[in-house]
Amino acid sequence: MMSQLQDWNRRALDELGLDPGTLDQALVLDLARDVAHGVARPAAPLSTYLLGVAVGRGADPAEAAARLVTLAESWPGRETRS
48-79: pLDDT as tens digits = 999 999 999 999 999 999 999 999 999 998 65
Asked whether the beta carbons of 44 and 34 are under 8 A apart, the reply is no
Dist CA 35 CA 46 (whole Å): 10
Whether 2 is in a domain gets the answer no
Helix and strand element counts for the chain (H, E) = 4, 0
Whether 65 is in a domain gets the answer yes
| pLDDT value for 77 | 81
Give me the DSSP letters along 10-39.
HHHHHHTT--GGG--HHHHHHHHHHHHHHT
pLDDT of 15 higher than 80: yes
Whether 41 is in a domain gets the answer yes
Whether 57 is in a domain gets the answer yes
Give the residue-averaged pLDDT of 22-36: 95
Dist CA 7 CA 72 (whole Å): 30
Whether 76 is in a domain gets the answer yes
pLDDT of 82 higher than 50: no
pTM comes to 0.86
Whether 48 is in a domain gets the answer yes
Whether 4 is in a domain gets the answer no
Range of 58's domain?
Answer: 20-80
